[in-house]
Every structure is written in structure tokens, then in C-alpha cells.
Structure 1
């Protein structure tokens, strides 16, 4: 009987919602729910238990609903809607932890600017160290976070859906900061290239497969060769605009310019962290390109004021890329 089924399904939905409300009251939202320094706290254990029980409920009800052969669509819809609230609640329960992990990763990546990438090659033609200190720290942190916190969740797909987003953001921040390194010597390039390879390994625990990260993964793979290419080759890279934003590549070319041609953040007298925050607040490519244009115009003024006869060789290439990028936005 369709009416009876609908009435029962409404009661099922109410029960699911009540279970959700009771579970939410059990969640720990204090500071220790989001700490990522020590082992699992009592509050974090409780949150894991709540998420696991919500997951079991979600799975069991979904299984029952999908096994019904003649289930009225309205009844199915009623239960499915209630289950969506359970999924949202699971997300809310892990959000403080995810935010802390993301913040810690950003804090580690930004320490790359405390390392020296200016060196020239040693006689062996190899960099002094295989990969940077910040990269070792990042790899250790991600591996520990997975084993200390995330492995206690029984809902693997749910965990990966959330940690893959952190991995994408980590790659984006890594490329952003790598493109800001100045000065970058030949030995520094070799070490940074090693860091690019190690970055894939670093975010590995957060993913089913690193290649699942889509555009972030392609950007990581496409940017690395640019480290060793000439300015002209960089400017004609097929990855430009499609895989790697123009603003990121032009930002990277500042590395090859004399100190007089200041990067946008240097001109504004911002720290790397403040500039990174500005980029987060201005996701529009146009805003980022306008900031770059301001830095290039300031350089022209600087050369003219000292009555310089020529611009740095990389300058016309940067201008050409900027024009290309601006016209692509039209």
C-alpha cells in the first residue's frame, strides 16, 4: 500500500533526523577537537565514534531502501532527504579537524622561504641535499595525520572526499610559493625540482590515487619542467592558461629578473604569507594580472628615472604574456 509506505517512510525520516540531532549534541566542538599536535584527544575520539555511528546508520538505511523493488518514489525521496542531513552532519563533525590540518600544511609550506635556493651547482652537478627540509616536514606531518587521526574513521570514501580537497589545496599553495622564490640559483632549481617530485609522494596518503586530483595534479606535473626552460620556452608552453594560470607563470618569471624589477608582493612590502592571503581573497585572474601590471609599470618608471637605456631581457616576455592573458579574458 503506497499510502502506508509513505506514512512509514515519514516516521523513518523523523527517526533519522532525531538520531542526527542527538548525535550533534554529543559532538565536541572545543579546541581539543581540532588539535593536530599530539595524539587523539578524548573529544576527538568521541567525534570519531559519532561519525562512525552516523556512517553505519547511513549505510544500513541506504541498503534497505535500495533493496526495495516496488518502493514509491515519494517515500524514497523522504528518506533520501533525511539521509542527506546525516551526510552534512558528518561533514560538520570533521570540519574543525580538516581546517586545522589545512592550516598546518600551509604553515609548513610557507617555511620554504626560510631556505636558501640561491646556490649554484656544486662540482658534481647535483644539489647538496636531495629535497628540502620543509618537504620532509610536510611528508612526516601528512603521514602522521593520516595514521593518528583519519585512520580511525570507518568511512574511507568519506575521508578521501575530504582529504583529497586538502591535497589539492596543498599542491596549489606549494606551486604558488615555489613561483615566488627569489633568488633561484641552478642548485636551487635542482632541489626545487626534487621537491616537486616529493610533493606527489607527500600528498599520496590523502588520495586514492594522486592522479585523481585532476587539475592540481596536472599543474604540478606541468610546472616542474618550466624550472629549467628558457624564458622563451616558458612563454610558449602549451600548459599556459589552460593548466597553469598566466598569473602564476608571470609571477615565476620575476625570479629571473634583476632585483630592480620587484615582485608584486615586494613592491607592496608584504610578507609571503600576506601575499598568499591576498591571492586567496582575490581568486579572479584579472585582479591578479592587474597587480602584476602595476609591478611591471613601476619597474619602467624606475628605469626611466635613472635614465636607463634598456630593460631586463625577461621584461618584454612578461609584458607579452600579460597582454596575451588580458586578451584571453576578454
Structure 2
């Protein structure tokens, strides 16, 4: 009909508006078919009936979207208003595909977070074994994370025909997974030499873990660069870390300061220890306070509390890492807008 109407701009617009209405109606009907029950977002067992139906709905919306896009791009003399009417309706279809998979994506994201936080149940305090190599190629939580992501991609996302659309959504999970991994890795206390070796192995394995969620891990941009830049810092002296060019540019100052707490004696408490929070609660606080300014203020509070405690017990000197952290904090504060 659009082809036939192409001879007259007014007719083109009238037909395009009808096309847009039809697409909208298709969207409304599709939305009614979607399963929103709990089984639509489960990630424990095989595909449920509701999940199968949602996959079928998303696939059909995708086919409609692609086919209509093809028709529009092949129109030669298509009035701008007519094209606008159809593309607006198509955008609503794409948005509906997004909201249809969102509950499943949320479940996957929550599970990934729950697995990563279990790294604190493992012991990273050990010294190097005689061979100088870690006893295991990677930690238990990392094995579990790799298995979970591979299974989820195979059991659920493989059935979607719209690969680009799936990766657009799962790449965000990969970025978030890297962010959480680095956040939790920087909080491990105590961290022995053997623990550092194992954590370094986990950094390498993390790239393999998130690989199924994206076309190429390097597509993850900043998250990928952070992962790559942080790993060598595990073995550097605190002075070297403080002067690393990656700071501020690639890795936020707050993460590095958090990591330097792990090199301090127990009385220099990490911000979450000083607040008497669990790591999960601290992680939630960081999510609620994405600004570097808030995070640095919390870290400054922990450093000030340490100074107070040393004075109270009339200590003569501070931990060697303390002046480095203070300098780094001042440097970080000076870069804030």
C-alpha cells in the first residue's frame, strides 16, 4: 500500500498513519500475550512455558520491526512526516521487546551479583605456595559465575532470533558484572601473597566469564579497560599504585583507595568496617551514591577515624600506607568538578 500511495504525498501520509496504527495494535496485542508471572523471570531451571511464550512474542515483534524497516528504507519519495509516523510506531515495538526481556535480565543480574559477593567467603589470606603458583587455577565463585553465565546464555537467550538486540541488553550485565567484581576484589581483607596470585588468576578468568554476554569482551569499553588496568596493580607497591597513570583516567580513585585499605593494619578500618556494615550493605550504598565526591567523603571519614584512634592510644606513628592514602585522597579531591 505504501508503494501504491507513493505517487501522492497526502495519500502517502494517510496510508503511513494507518500502517502506524496497525503496528501499534500489533504491539498492544503482543503485550497482552506476555507472561509476567514469576516463572517468566526464573533462572534456575529450564525454559518455562511463560518464558517460551515471551521468546515467541519477542521474536515475532522483531520480525515485524525488521520487515517494516526494510519497506521504509526502500521507499524513494517518502514524505518525512509519513516516515516519522511509522518509525515512531516501530520504536514502541522495540521498546516493548526491551520491557519483555527486562524481568529475565534483572534476574540474571541479581544472580551474578549474588555469586560475585560470595568471593568474601573464600580465604585470600594465604602466603605463596612453594611452587610460586596458586593452588587452583581460579576461585570457586569464579567457576560458579562462568558456569552460570554460560548456562543462562544457552538455556534462555539462545532462543531469541534478534542477536543484536540480545547483546545490546546482555552487554550491560557484563559491564555491571565487571564493576561488581572489581568493587568486591578491592575489598578483600586480609589479602596474602598467595591470595593475590589467585585473585590475579580470577581477573583473567573474569574475561572468560563475561565473554558469552557480548560479541567481543573489548566491546565493553571502559569496564574492560578497568579490568585490564587493575590486575597489575595487585602486585605493585603502594607508592607505585598511587602514581599509576591509570588512576582517575581509567580506574576511579575511590576503588584504588578502597584497595589500599587492604594493605593497612586492622586498626585502619575500611569504610564499611568503620560503619559496621556488611559488604552487601556497603555495595548497596555505593550503588546509591555513584558520585565520586560522596565515595571519597566516606573514605576520608575512615582515615580521620584512624588518626583519632592512634591519638587516643597515644601511638607514635601511623601505618606506612596512611600518608600515601592521604596524598592520593587530596589528589582525587582536587580533580573533582
> After TM superposition, is the score higher than 0.5?
yes
Query: How far is the alpha carbon of 1:109 from its aligned partner?
Result: 0.0
* Structure 1 residue corresponding to 2:288, chosen from 281, 285, 288: 281
SS of aligned partner of 2:46: coil
* Structure 2 residue corresponding to 1:14, chosen from 11, 21, 24: 21
* Counterpart check, 1:131 vs 2:138: yes
**Residue 199 of structure 1 corresponds to which residue in structure 2?**
206
**Residue 35 of structure 2 corresponds to which residue in structure 1?**
28
* Structure 2 residue corresponding to 1:271, chosen from 260, 264, 278: 278
CA distance in 2, matches of 1:159, 1:272: 31
1:101-154 alpha-carbon deviations (Å, 9 max, x no partner): 000000000000000000001111111111000000000000000000000000
Query: How far is the alpha carbon of 1:70 from its aligned partner?
Result: 1.0
CA distance in 1, matches of 2:134, 2:315: 36
**Residue 116 of structure 2 corresponds to which residue in structure 1?**
109
Query: How far is the alpha carbon of 1:305 from its aligned partner?
Result: 0.5
**Residue 65 of structure 1 corresponds to which residue in structure 2?**
72
SS of aligned partner of 1:29: coil
**Residue 243 of structure 1 corresponds to which residue in structure 2?**
250
**Residue 4 of structure 2 corresponds to which residue in structure 1?**
none
Q: How does 1:116-265 map to 2 (within 5 A)?
A: 116-265=123-272
CA distance in 2, matches of 1:268, 1:157: 43
* Counterpart check, 1:99 vs 2:106: yes
* Counterpart check, 1:307 vs 2:326: no
Deviates most, 125-134 or 196-205: 125-134
CA distance in 1, matches of 2:290, 2:157: 30
Runs of 4 or more, structure 1, over 6 Å off, are: none
Query: How far is the alpha carbon of 1:199 from its aligned partner?
Result: 0.2
1:273-314 alpha-carbon deviations (Å, 9 max, x no partner): 000000000001000000000000000000000100000000
Query: How far is the alpha carbon of 1:46 from its aligned partner?
Result: 0.3
SS of aligned partner of 2:262: helix
Query: How far is the alpha carbon of 1:260 from its aligned partner?
Result: 0.4
1:57-115 alpha-carbon deviations (Å, 9 max, x no partner): 00000000001111111111110000000000000000000000000000000000000
**Residue 45 of structure 1 corresponds to which residue in structure 2?**
52
CA distance in 1, matches of 2:53, 2:129: 53
CA distance in 1, matches of 2:30, 2:252: 43
CA distance in 1, matches of 2:68, 2:158: 24
- What 5-or-longer segments of structure 1 have no aligned partner? none
The TM-score with structure 1 as length reference comes to: 1.00
1:20-47 alpha-carbon deviations (Å, 9 max, x no partner): 0000000000100000000000000000
